[in-house]
Structure 1
Amino acid sequence: MPAAPADTVLTEPVTGPSAWTAADFTGESDWVVVLTPEEIDDLETALAAAKARGIPFEQLTVEDFPLPVLGKTFEAAVQELEFGRGFTLLRGLPVERWSLEEARLAYWGIALHLGTPVSQNAAGELIAHVKDYGEGEVTESATRAYRTRSELPFHTDSSDIVGLLCLRQAGEGGVSTLASSMTVHNHLLAHHRELLGLYYRGFVYDRRLEEGSDELPYYRNAVYGYFHDQLSCRFYMTHYIDSAVPKSGIPLSGIERHALRLFQDIAGMDEHRVEMTLRAGDLQLLNNNVVIHGRSAFRDEPGRRRDLLRLWLNTRYARELPEDFAAFRRGMPRTW
């Protein structure tokens, strides 16, 4: 198993818009962009043209999905993700009048204007449903977290950018929570400086049965890395750390468990986190390098089954990172 990268530990506070706290916002109007009728018309014109092509969505290119009006909004979103606070929410996509295939096609066209989509699992999915598949809880070692209704602690996904397009809200719950991993690092630096090395060394994660026949079922990944004068974060699901222990034979020390709990506690402080409930037609976009996210447990009701479409992608402004820092940043290899 390759070691986590041994790089410089940042010992100065992160400054700038990515190191935000809850007090920096007055409400959701600070991060919500409501799409205009003209922008929706632009999207639906491109969708109709792409449908007429009659080819699989993954074969379409950005030239096949021109957005002369809405494209400017997506460029502003990318700028916010890469150089601003690291998250945004686009509201008003008309998912209620789209079929599932139309929603997937429109989402793919949007993704092409944001960056390059990458595979999310061993099946090679480029667009994945985030919903309750009835496969059990996130604590079960064969289950990926996005396929459950469980509460999910703060974490990042693998690619630089993760997008969640809400098709339907849950009957109850499913509240999204965000925090700045840059602010968490600043807090650790100020109050728990002696623990920083643990996060730069990282933790061992379970592949959750998505490894190839010649691959180990676990891997190590750093939480923080400081490269080219930029701090980046990858904090994958802590449940995957727990389930990796019997597979790797590498126990978690008491101080490592403390560090994991501490990270969650700092991120969850009232002064650090913001919450949002995604409604149908909302597209939430996050930069995993600087933002961590979680979710409350949810409960479905008849006719109200929570369903989000997830995309992983990297933008043309993607920061330079060592290949061994962010596992699966460029997509998960297809193994089945």
Structure 2
Amino acid sequence: MIDKRIIHPSAWKPADFTSKDTFSIDLSRGQVEAFGRALSKLASCGPVTCDGIDANGFDLQSIAGDIDRWYQELSTGRGMLNLRGFPVDEHPVEHITAMLYGLSSQWGTPVSQSVMGDRLGEVIAVDKLLHGERRRSYKSTHEMRLHSDFCDVLGMLCIRSAERGGASRYTSMISVHNKILETRPELLEPLYRGFYFWRIGEWPEEPVTPYRVPVFSETDGVLSAHYAGDLSFIDPNNTGHALSELDYEAIEYFVEVAESEELRYEFQIEPGECLFANNLTHLHARSKILNGPDVERRRHMLRVWVDCDQSFRPAVPELRVFEHGIGVSAHPEMMHA
């Protein structure tokens, strides 16, 4: 357990930012052209799809130094990076999808985000679910609470904004740890001990983890964290494992601190921007989405989850609740009507 205040760029607070410009980088013309050349080369080999990139690669060698610097910012820097200038008005969604997937593949392996096997998810409200598909928050318009995903790096690229709402919210879990250490240090012990975790029905052969999943954990002196954002994941009715009063108090205080205006930063990801975050150091959420009547103008984001190697950030294996992503490798034949 880390028992000293962590002083590091990843321990940021909203007061550290004059605006999101602080953690934003504008893509240069040369960088955008590099993505265009990679698309052309990919198209010459076969389909411009995630599977095509897996088979033939996505050649961004000309900007490899930039890509490595972005990776280092996510790995050992602030852990949050907003890349601006993806040409969403000049390319079809399929091409922007390939750009995001191709860039993410330079850092690790994009993994499945649901039982549908989507390695590149479309965050957009849908009116109809597929047979057997469970309503997921990223297919709805409701407000989402702060939570972690199941990966090392999260990427969110905006194709189209909502008419109103849909603001992104981020909190540094390093700062949350610092605040709890300062104000209620006795609550860190249950958060480090962790909780048995219900796998939301997406791992039928082992629906509950046989081990505790820590909220905070330390490996080689490095703090990592994970909080799924909903008590149902650790509810005794789902896990079969009781929670103490101290457990409940620790979780409630963790959420209170994370949601406080002192630590939670709210901003809009605009069209052409892609917000990448270290999922082992950040919580994220969004405000309620208010779309207009035109279905074709609904808020539309692309989401990627990336698993990196252990050098990205040393972390305990228990954080791999689903090993690698959620669900199966792919269900390409399934599409929303």
Shorter-chain TM range is 0.7 to 0.9
State the Cα deviation string for residues 51-101 of structure 1 (Å, max 9, x = none).
Answer: 221144324259732224443332221111001111000011011222222
Residue 154 of structure 1: SS of its match in structure 2?
strand
| 1:53 aligned residue | 45
The answer to whether the Cα contact below 8 Å between 1:205 and 1:240 also exists between their aligned partners in 2 is no
Aligned to 2:84: 91
Identity of aligned residues (%): 29
2:217/2:316 contact within 8 Å kept: no
How far, CA to CA, are the matches of 2:50 and 2:104 in structure 1? 11
- Kindly report which structure 2 residues correspond to 1:1-336, keeping only aligned pairs within 5 A, or say none: 9-55=1-47, 56-61=49-54, 64-134=57-127, 142-212=134-204, 214-216=205-207, 220-241=212-233, 244-301=235-292, 302=294, 303-316=296-309, 317-328=311-322, 330-334=324-328
Q: CA RMSD for the aligned pairs?
A: 2.5
Cα displacement (A) at 1:310 = 0.9
Compared with structure 1, are the counterparts of its residues 168 and 124 closer, same or farther at alpha carbon in structure 2 (3 Å cutoff)? same
The unaligned stretches of length 5 or more in structure 2 are 332-337
Deviations 1:242-301, CA, capped at 9 Å, x for gaps: 7x4433344554443332232222122222222220111111100011111111111211
Counterpart CA distance in 2 for 1:324 and 1:269 is: 28
Q: Deviations over 1:158-195 (max 9, x none)?
A: 11101011111112111111111011001111111111
Partners of 2:135 and 2:241 lie apart in 1 by 21
Q: Which residue is 1:6 aligned to? A: none
Residues 84/176 of structure 1: CA separation in 2 closer, same or farther (3 Å cut): same
CA contact (8 A) 1:135 1:147 kept: no
In the superposition, the TM-score normalised over structure 1's length comes to 0.87
Q: Is the 8 A contact 2:192 2:216 kept in 1?
A: yes
Give distance in 2, aligned partners of 1:121 and 1:320: 25
Measure, in 2, the Cα distance between the counterparts of 1:206 and 1:145: 17
SS in 2 for 1:294: strand
Conserved in 2, the CA contact under 8 Å of 1:165 and 1:284? yes
Confirm or deny: 8 A CA contact 1:234 1:326 kept in the other structure. Answer: no
The TM-score, its normalising length taken from structure 2, stands at 0.87
1:11 alignment partner AA: D
Task: Give yes or no for contact 2:152–2:306 (8 Å, CA) kept in 1.
Answer: yes
Any conservation in 1 of the 2:257–2:263 contact (CA below 8 Å)? yes
One-letter identity of the residue aligned with 1:323: P
2:222·2:314 contact (CA, 8 Å) conserved in 1? no
SS of residue in 2 equivalent to 1:38: helix
Conserved 8 A contact 1:173-1:299: yes
Structure 1 moving runs of 4+ over 4 Å: 217-220, 251-254
Shifted more, 69-78 versus 275-284: the winner is: 69-78
Q: Please give the per-residue CA displacement for 1:133-172, whole angstroms capped at 9, x wherever unaligned.
A: 3479xxxx95333222221111111111010111111121
Q: Which runs of 5+ in 1 are unaligned?
A: 1-8
CA-CA distance at 1:198 after TM superposition: 1.6
Figure out how many residues of one structure are paired with residues of the other and give that number. 322
CA contact (8 A) 1:162 1:311 kept: yes
CA contact (8 A) 2:200 2:233 kept: no
Aligned amino acid, residue 108 of structure 1 = Y
